[in-house]
Each structure stands twice: as structure tokens, then as C-alpha cells.
Homo-oligomer: A and B are copies of this chain.
Amino acid sequence: MINRHYLELKDDYLFAEIDRRVQAFQEAHPERKLIRLGIGDVTRPLCPCVVDALRDAAQEMGEQVRGYGPYQGYAFLREAVAAYYASRGTHVEAGDVFVSDGAKSDLGNILDIFDTDLRVLIPDPVYPVYVDTNRMAGRPVSFLPAADTGFLPLPEAGTRADIVYLCSPNNPTGAVYSLPQLTQWVEWARACGAVILFDAAYEAFVCEEGMPRSIFEVPGAEECAIEFCSFSKTAGFTGLRCGYTVIPSALERDGQKLGRLWLRRQSTKYNGTSYVVQRAAAAVLSEEGRRQTREAVDYYRENARVLSETLETLGIAYTGGKNSPYVWLRCPGGMTSWEYFDFLLERAGVVGTPGAGFGQSGEGCFRLTAFGRHEDTHEASRRLLELGR
């Protein structure tokens, strides 16, 4: 009767186990002030122009009805997304943009349009949602160990898959693919007919000149890639919920446009994204909205800089921190990631995320996020430096 694949999933224990250990520690040491750099949630409030857009849209809906919207999202938002790409020199058609309640939903639901009998390739360590959503449908998953590649694995002679997930800037490692590296993936996918599912949720954190923020910066990607984007980290929408997915009209498999299949999926199992939220998202992409949200991104980026500098001072190897809100470090002294978790919690009162939670190749690594407050991040840095002495 039930979907038996659900029983094969690992328990979603990572953050529950973190909570359990943190709570036990806090009960034993109620006087210690903990600093939480574990979960990737934002801490800055929504920027003023987003709040204004929400309030205006609410007012509007109280004056005249706004019923079912277009399944694909309102044109005003899809056009704003296309203009946002254009401002970065990348061409995306507004008609190829599909608005939703978030990248996580789309990353899971996109699998509906594919056969269950596919070869799926997922880099390890990785955002656990890629793995679980495939396992729920009974799809076997192959892993691409990333630890020896600076966490930026590339296709090799024997690499075979129908679907490959790429996440850049990466969660959890913070590593970012260069344009030549992404080009290798696109050429590989075009040669073998694979589809790249490109998770660009953290693109707003890319600041280095020349580093790609979209797979569509690579010529030919429109024939082999789907890109997933989010307002969550760009504009603090984790609680407001909006994302968008780009499926180029040139992307076909088995003679079918994947965008058309996706629209059929969405029109059957989804009824569009909240009008007020779409108005808020469009405000993010306005000139003033981009300025205001950039301030929040810069705020987090400054935290990432502080954490990176701390690790450099301590001589701890790490990736990320520059074009990413995540800093991914090698646990010192050969500790396992849970050993380092306990060590940091007990000795510094700092909570991070053990790398083992992101896959086998994450063992021996540890994730810190830059989404905290400045004062907390500075205090965490001070404690880490003291501990390292």
C-alpha cells in the first residue's frame, strides 16, 4: 500500500541529533552562551522595499480580486527575472522562467517529469535533498566523490549518467565552479545526452570577477541544463517562499520539450505562487531592491570573511567563504566531524554542522555558516582563535 522506498531513507537525523547534543550541553552548562553557526537560515529582516511591496499587494487584494494566477508565474516577475539575467550579461527568455514557492520544491518535483529508471549522478558531499528525492522514487543514485577535487568534481572518461546535479556556489562546501570547469560539464552533457540540474540558489554570493553565476553563461547549456534559483538567500525569503526555475525551450529529450512537461506537472499539481509573494520578489529585482538586498548579502559576506581569516590564522584548510555564505573546513587533528562538533561545542560554545551529514565524503569536514549576526560571528572567531592557541 505505502511507498516502500520511504522506509529505505535514512532517518532525517542530522539536525535533530545536533539539537539533541546542543540541548544536553546547554542543560549541563546553562551559563554558557552558545553561538549557532549551524543552520543555513538568514538572520536579517526583509528589506524595506520588499515589505512595501507586500503591504501594497495586500492592500490591492483587499480592493480588487486577484484570483488564480498563471501557473508559470506572473509576467511581471518572469520579465524581471529575465532582466536580472540580462543585467549580468546572460540571456534567458521570460517564457522559460517558471516561478514557484522555492528551489527546494522544484528540485524535488522536477523528478516527476523523468523516467524512474535513470542513472542519477550526485557529487558527495551534497545537499541531502538531491539524494532523498531520488530514493523516494526508487531511483538508484551514484555518487561522485568530491573530496580529492577541491570539492569541484569534473566529468571523467568513464562518467556516465542521465541526470547530474551540480550546485555552485556549493552547499555545503562553498566551492564555486569556474567557467572552464562548467564548460567541461556542459560539453560532457551534450555529448552523452545527460541533463544537468544546476542549483544556483547561492548565486548572489559570487563576487569574484569572471566566476559564473549561471550555467547559462556557458554556450550550449540551453540544450542540456535546468537552473534552479531562489530568493531565499539573495533576499531573505526563507520564510516568505519564492524561487524560480529556468528550462530553456531548446531543452528537449525524447522529442519533448522539458519545459512543456514541467508546465503540465505544475498546472496539474500546483496552483501558482502567492500573488503578494510574487510582488515582493519583483521588488527584490527592482533597482532599489537590488541595492537593498545587496547590503544584506554584503553583511553575510563580511561574516564569511571573518570566518575565513580566522581559519587562515589557525592554519586550518577550508573551501568557500569568498563567493559563498558557507565555510567548509578540514577538522583539525584528524578528528571526525562529530568529534569536532563536540569539541567546538564543549570548548568554544560554537555550534556548526558535521560534514558527515552531507555524505560519506563529508567525513572529516565541518560547515560553518555566515548567516549569523556580526557580533556573534566575531565572538565565534575570538573563541576559535583562543581555542587554537
Contacts and interface: CB of A to CB of B under 8 A. Distances in A.
A269 interface: yes
Contacts of A3: 112-116, 261
A58 B47 CA distance: 10
Interface in A1-41: 1-4, 6-7, 9, 12, 39, 41
Interface residues of A, number: 74
Given A54-B58, A276-B276, A271 B65 contact: no
B101 A274 contact: yes
Question: Which of A7, A55, A59, A268 neighbours the largest number of chain B CB atoms within 10 Å of its CB?
Answer: A268
A335 interface: no
A50 B50 CA distance: 19
B55 A269 contact: no
A277 interface: yes
Interface in A37-54: 39, 41-48, 50-51, 54
B115 A4 contact: yes
B241 A272 contact: yes
Contacts of A264: 6, 9, 12
Interface stretch (A77-85, A103-111, A346-354, A381-389): A103-111
Contact of A62 (B41, B51, B268): B51
B61 A58 contact: no
A136 interface: yes
Given A68-B239, A115-B1, A274-B277, A62 B42 contact: no
A43 B67 CA distance: 7
A2 B261 contact: yes
Nearest to A100: B101
Interface string A92-124: 000000000110110011001111101000000
Nearest to A128: B268
Question: Which of A51, A254, A258 neighbours the largest number of chain B CB atoms within 10 Å of its CB?
Answer: A51
B62 A271 contact: no
B65 A256 contact: no
A267 B239 CA distance: 14
A108 to B, nearest CB: 3
Contacts of A43: 65, 67
B258 A2 contact: yes
Nearest to A117: B1
A218 interface: no
Interface of A: 1-4, 6-7, 9, 12, 39, 41-48, 50-51, 54-55, 58-59, 61-69, 101-102, 104-105, 108-109, 112-116, 118, 129, 132-133, 136, 162, 193, 195, 236, 238-241, 253-254, 256, 258, 261, 264-265, 267-277
Q: What are the 7 closest A-B residue pairs judged by CB atoms, nearest first?
A: A108-B269, A51-B62, A54-B58, A41-B67, A66-B239, A67-B238, A1-B253
11 contacts: A1-B253, A2-B253, A2-B256, A3-B116, A6-B113, A44-B65, A46-B61, A68-B238, A68-B239, A105-B270, A105-B271
